[in-house]
A and B are shown apart, each in its own frame.
Chain A
Amino acid sequence: MAEENPVSWFAAPPVFDLGLELPDWYRQLQETSWQTFLTLPEPARTDQNWRFSDLKKVRFSELQAARPAENAEALVQRAKTERVEDFAAHFVFANNRLIHSEINELPAGAICLPLNEALVECGDLVKNHFMKEEGSLGGSKFSALHAAATLSGLFIHFPQGATCKLPILTHHFASGDFNCVFPHMLVVAEGQAEVTVLETFETAAEDEQTFFFANTDLIANNGANLQYVALQDESDHGPKHIQLNSSRVGRDANIKSAFVNLGAAWVRQEAIARMMEEGSDCQVFSANLANGTQEYDQRTLQSHEAQHTTSDLLFKNALYDQARTIFAGLIEVQSGSHHTDSYQTCRNLLGSDQAEANAMPGLEIDADQVKCSHGSTSGQISDEEIFYLQARGIPAEQARQIISLGFLNESIARLKGEAVQSYLFDRVERKFKSLT
């Protein structure tokens, strides 16, 4: 096959004009980020961070700033029909534009605004936290692109003691070939605050070449509890999805984050969890169902930067057909971070001889009194398990499905909130039923 044309990417930043007066610092940051984006090299497989990646899929030859979606009303209906029933607020974006918002109840003093509005209304607060993560697991070029282009997504700030049991929901739709969206999510939970955010990424139509460049930064300060869940349920063919996530956990605070992937042709997710102060705890979960020629590429870092910090990571992949997954996870216990407890597990369930699961767990420890474990396993459903279900009258094919669904559900079940769990479970089940 002939080599594709060299990547042209964009001639100019793919920013659409919202007619907003944005703060100067933001305009400058966009400009600097754009220059950084142009300067940074493209991913190469010689880089350990891109090992095993199918780099053909990382070539973005024809990208364009998304025009408004045509079927906005239908998309709003779709988002409303399938959302978690009880929620604090719901925002729907299509091709970067806010097309629907509803606020039921937010605690006093909480800010929950689309990014472009937040820049105008509380620009300084946004500035303190916006795109501050300097570490990278390989995606810095995409991070720069995101910073140069994003004006969609949410800024959420929960002040000291603000709590909300119900989740804040967002939907991000992309539609139209070669259109790119830049969903941003910045959540700051101050002391003792409690917040859950559930994001859903979808495409408006089947098999369009759409692109998601999402960035998700989570900050939990003293004693805060923050839960973030991303469901990527885009069309199986066409869409490419990049999501860069950082979590900064403060003293006695906790962040739970989860990434569920069902759709998209290619996914790259990077998650950096930084336990910054004593008592920091972070839990990262993922459940992925890949079939056809889907490729899910996930890289994680659990960075322990203080004493008495804990983290746990559980990633589960169910693979069918010629699907591929890549998991590379590093636990890093930095100098002096004594009494760290850190765990990392990646499990793969292979539903086909041609599916390929790559796992690269890693551990670097520079402290004492540390408990760390990491491991990855790959296997198939055992015949004895199927026999057990069949002996209860369940046909073999369905038995396989139930067992696989349970396998993925093990990480979903670790999240808080039954409604969030069953929302994810139903979507995973729906995809299983579509596989025949």
Chain B
Amino acid sequence: MSQTLNIQNLHASVDGIEILKGLDLEVPKGEVHAIMGPNGSGKSTLSKVLAGHEDYEVTDGRVTMDGTDLMELEIDERSREGLFLAFQYPHEIPGVSNANFLRAALQARLPEGEEIDAVGFYKEMYAKMDALSMDRKFTGRAVNDGFSGGEKKRNEILQMMMLEPSYAILDETDSGLDIDALKIVAEGVNRMRSPERGFLVITHYQRLLDYIVPDVVHVLFDGRIIKTGDKELAHELEEKGYDWLTNELVAV
């Protein structure tokens, strides 16, 4: 069985408007792939489609995760199967503590009748929070409720660390972060890098990629990958802007 997240000829629409227009992409385990692209190119649509958001209609193509057809699975099944999406705008869940939320997510992964070991759970959570420089008080606070932008993003990374996915998609995790928060978040991600895990890092800016150094960089434009390269491509984009590529494309 192939150990990759494989996307072939993906077409997806929202409200009848096609956003992804035949996207091909392969993220093998052990690699970090970055997707860059201007606003409106379809970056967030891609992350939502992979996670299974119901507003997005997949009209053609195929996505497999380690050989499993992702499109056949419900949203929650995809997550339990090993896919993780770090949200660009994490939702607030008033009245539900962070700890209870994480427990419920972990509990959902256990066979029926089996209970989470509470002591071990807290120990692990505290260790991971320490790694992200998160205050312990966040365990008792309602999920993302009243969190600053940086705290929300850190909380997403904490969830990723707790759920230990096979493939993680980071949707503009850098947006709204100051440099210190960005470094902490990137460090969290880097600690998670492993031969057993693939990353798809979606970003608008090259800055994040100074801290999470990608193996491969893709440029998404108008619903398709128009260029793929190594980490130097990100620098080139930063210097020359997206017009450099998109004009070229229009000229052709």
Residue positions of A touching B, CB distance < 8 A: 383-385, 387-396, 398-399, 402-403, 405-410, 413
User: Which B positions have Cβ atoms within 8 angstroms of A?
Assistant: 51-54, 74-76, 78-80, 85, 87, 90-91, 93-96, 100-101, 104-105, 108-109, 142, 159, 163
Interchain CB contact under 8 A, A390 and B76: yes
| Residues of A with C-beta under 8 A to B108 | 392-395, 398
CA gap between A388 and B85 in the complex, in Å: 9
Instruction: Pick the contact of B76: A384, A393, A408, A410 (CB < 8 A).
Output: A393
Interface SS, A side: helix
Complex: A356 Cα to B210 Cα, angstroms: 55
A385 contacts B95, CB within 8 Å?
A: no
A385 surroundings in chain B (CB, below 8 A): 91, 93
**Is A403 in contact with B96, judged by CB distance below 8 angstroms?**
yes
Q: Which residue of B lies closest to A413 (CB)?
A: B95
A-chain residues with CB within 8 Å of residue B91 when the two chains form the complex: 384-385, 387-388
**Could you tell me if A387 and B53 are in contact, using CB atoms closer than 8 angstroms?**
yes
What are the nearest 6 A-B pairs in CB distance?
A406-B95, A406-B96, A393-B79, A390-B75, A409-B95, A388-B91
Majority secondary structure of chain B interface residues (helix, strand, loop or mixed): mixed
Residue among B51, B54, B96 with the highest chain A CB neighbour number at 10 A: B96
Q: Once the chains bind, are B159 and A392 in contact (CB under 8 Å)? A: yes
Which of A394, A407, A408 counts the most chain B CB atoms within 10 A?
A394
Contact B76 A394 (CB under 8 A): yes
Return A288 CB to nearest CB of chain B, in Å.
14
> Within the complex, which residue of B52, B87, B90, B104 is in contact with A394, where a contact is CB–CB below 8 Å?
B104
A403, B79: Cβ atoms closer than 8 Å = no
Question: Shortest beta-carbon distance, A394 to chain B, in Å?
Answer: 5
Question: Which B residue's beta carbon lies closest to that of A388?
Answer: B91
A-B contact pairs, 24 of them (CB 8 A): A387-B51, A387-B91, A389-B105, A390-B75, A390-B76, A390-B79, A391-B52, A391-B75, A391-B87, A392-B105, A392-B108, A393-B163, A394-B105, A394-B108, A395-B74, A395-B108, A402-B96, A402-B101, A403-B96, A407-B95, A409-B95, A410-B95, A410-B142, A413-B95
Instruction: Report Cα–Cα, A409/B93, bound state, in Å.
Output: 11
Q: Which residues of A contact B159 (CB under 8 A)?
A: 392
Determine the distance from Cα of A405 to Cα of B142 in the docked complex, in whole angstroms: 12
Q: Which residue of A lies closest to B83 (CB)?
A: A391
Contact, CB under 8 Å: A393 / B95:
no
Question: Contact between B93 and A389 (Cβ–Cβ < 8 Å)?
Answer: yes
Of B53, B76, B94, B104, most buried by chain A (CB within 10 Å of CB) is B76
